[in-house]
Amino acid sequence: MKYVIALITIASFISIFYGFSIQEEELQLAHKFIGFGTVGLFLVAMPLFLIKESKGKKMKDYMLNEENIRKMRKKEREKSENQ
């Protein structure tokens, strides 16, 4: 999975750079390459990366709710007391 994401990312960047390099000669084709590269990065590679990296993690730990606010305040108080 890691290699697929890396391949999509590299291909997207190459597509974007190629689009900018041919922008002088063929404007319509350049816009297509830039657009497909952007779609590849943000609608394919980024979601795949986020799914891969967040596997097995609890979303509850990252949400800002009353319980987590109390934990943060407690840690901050302990930190300030130790210094």
pTM listed for this prediction: 0.69
- Ramachandran region, residue 56 (left: φ > 0; alpha: ψ -120 to 50; beta: rest): left
Q: Is 55 helix (H, G, I), strand (E, B) or coil?
A: coil
pLDDT value, residue 58:
82
Q: Whole-angstrom Cα distance, residue 23 to residue 16? A: 11
Alpha-carbon distance of 73 to 67, in angstroms, equals 10
- What are the residue ranges spanned by the domains of the chain? 2-82
pLDDT at 55: 86
Task: Tell me the CA distances in angstroms from 26 to 12, 39, 42, one per residue in order.
Answer: 19, 20, 24
Say what the pLDDT of residue 78 is. 81
Output the tens digit of pLDDT for each of the chain's 83 residues.
899 999 999 999 999 999 999 999 999 999 999 999 999 999 999 999 999 988 888 877 778 888 888 888 888 888 777 76
